A and B are shown apart, each in its own frame.
Chain A
């Protein structure tokens, strides 16, 4: 029988790694320092000298951070292909939006006053849990999509990568908070939606097309709705959920708008491609066959607090706001004119006529 002592005796000296000090004499830019500012040490503050210079193209498919020296010897390709052209993924605001995401993280467990959820009339509770069923579903896909694109972001354009990583976290929290609301107050999960364009976002194989659908149109509509959450909410818990989720969605929309702006400034010929994508996605959004049978009904019901006529009136108020804000975002991104040229889907253009 061998004892532990005996095994210890048999322990050999661990082999030491080879000492290689060649990295002490690298030709990288040296002498960079940064002072924390009012918000601490943000990404903006370290984006100095060569380290802050965003290459317009990157052929580096490794994980090497921007500005680092290349390794010695053979290196593997880490990902089958990267989107090396900055116009494909970059946004001037990505670093700022990431910093803001990190500083504004919240907890659905402790930052929502769940104790303010009083028992609601059954029809209202049903409408709220139907809305939350649809929303947890939508947010679920919104987290899958940035995850899909992460391996394709060049490390040289890490700001966009970081932003998408923060979006994955935000969407996890949204998926979670709407599921929590559905199951917190005596209700349950109701009817799944009928797709409503989620598949188109997931299957897009061009980043800018995906971002136009997800960040600008899809999340833009959701953000406009959440900002009117006061009209839907029946207690402080629900108001807080919509307020915090809207804050997150604002960042996502801002990324989409600034990315599209950057892309169109550098590749204006891409405008028609984006228009075409929006034609397709608007069509899906308003297609009755694609519509979530529960979502519209529950939303109208909640807006009117059970009064369906009043709910419809407010629904068109929300839709009008969604469309106006959507058009404004496209204007800012440099893709104006969808309404004026008759390209906006008639159902959405019609919303602008409503009082």
Chain B
């Protein structure tokens, strides 16, 4: 309970000195002691532990356009800060606070945590192929950081957990950019060819956060499938570790994107068709990008050189089929199982799926 005498004396001292004392009059939600839950066994003082009392009430609509912390008392003189997202369904996932802390707990350093001394000469074709893949990975890291970062200024403090987590996504993507650049420039190679990257336009052009999220689910799930093949693709322990660490980061990102989209579909099912349109666009750009450099480089690695690349294309095709399967699998988790029947025609071919007309004849 507040000690009124202590506060009254404090107010008097401040006022005598010409300092404002109104902050001492604020009715505090006193007695929140998050520290009591923090133990080494449960990961220390995690953000989720703060979400008690009024501070844990995440509103469906946040009506303040300033940087006011959730649970603080507003100062009505404060200018509006230009946020545009005030709707919980637009960004929320219950996983955010934990994913944020997990990202920090999983932090790694590309300078020191990769066994760079395990790199050894792997032959000219393979080095070219690894460097080509590294160049494209690096590009995606850059794009991911830029496109995620730009949403920060749109999201209000009401959904602070989301912003904290997106901060970790930006940082993870930075590391993805530089760890692959390091790989390209560490072992006697150099940078490869940049991607054509029409496929990334749905990320850069997105007008709504939901549009950004579905494009991210598509790109991240396809990349995750590739990273999971790291054991097969890596030629050294350094590369193996890069694949593992990037995979670990990307799994967190997808956990958020998927859980958020599931939340949106439950809260605002009326937006289903709109979301399908964003997927139509993302898939169309991916299908029409027409740049097979990544898959060709993978074929050289899987074929152990350019001579074996042609034969390895069957394995590469299987990998690409798995990528589409993974993408559709994540969409099923978002209550978007119907995407399977609406998948872009070109991507259906990549996945070896029966053509739509033929499939529609099958009574399931």
Contact = CB atoms under 8 A, between A and B. Distances in A.
A284 to B, nearest CB: 11
A192 interface: yes
Interface string B331-364: 0000000000000000001111110001100111
B198 A76 contact: yes
A107 interface: yes
Contact of A187 (B32, B67, B135): B32
A126 B10 CA distance: 10
A103 B108 CA distance: 8
Interface stretch (A204-212, A270-278, A305-313, A324-332): A305-313
A158 interface: yes
Given A16-B317, A17-B292, A19-B299, A183 B149 contact: no
B72 to A, nearest CB: 4
A173 interface: yes
Interface string A187-229: 1111111110011001100000000000000000000000000
Majority SS at the chain B contact face: helix
A110 interface: yes
A12 B354 CA distance: 6
A301 B10 contact: yes
B197 interface: yes
B185 A46 contact: yes
Given A109-B38, A150-B146, A191-B72, A297 B293 contact: no
A17 to B, nearest CB: 4
A192 B75 contact: yes
A293 B193 CA distance: 56
Contact of B290 (A33, A46, A73): A73
Contacts of A141: 67, 81
A137 interface: yes
Contacts of A173: 104
Contact of B194 (A33, A64, A148, A188): A64
Contact of A99 (B43, B81, B111, B113): B111
Contacts of A151: 146-147, 149-150, 204
Contacts of A144: 81, 152-153
A75 B78 contact: no
Given A15-B349, A114-B38, A151-B146, A43 B178 contact: yes
B197 A176 contact: no
A232 interface: no
Interface residues of B, number: 144
Contacts of A187: 28, 30, 32
Nearest to A148: B153
Contacts of A297: 14, 19-21, 23
A169 B170 contact: yes
A192 B79 contact: no
Interface string B129-144: 1001001001110110
B44 A107 contact: yes
Interface string B290-312: 11110111011000001001100
Nearest to A34: B186
Given A183-B50, A202-B82, A40 B112 contact: yes
A103 B109 CA distance: 6
Of B82, B151, B170, chain A has the most CB atoms within 10 Å of the CB of B170
B363 A2 contact: yes
Of A12, A18, A153, chain B has the most CB atoms within 10 Å of the CB of A12
Contacts of A79: 146, 204
A186 to B, nearest CB: 5
Closest 10 CB pairs of A and B: A172-B167, A147-B152, A40-B111, A64-B194, A165-B174, A294-B23, A109-B44, A169-B171, A40-B112, A150-B149
11 contacts: A20-B296, A24-B128, A40-B111, A63-B194, A78-B143, A78-B201, A79-B146, A79-B204, A185-B33, A192-B69, A292-B75
Interface of A: 1-2, 10-21, 23-24, 26, 28-36, 39-43, 46, 48, 51, 62-76, 78-79, 98-99, 102-103, 105, 107-110, 112, 114-115, 117, 121-123, 126, 129-130, 133, 136-137, 140-141, 143-148, 150-151, 153, 155, 158, 161-162, 164-166, 168-169, 171-173, 175-176, 179-180, 183-195, 198-199, 202-203, 289, 292-294, 296-298, 300-301, 306, 308-309, 312
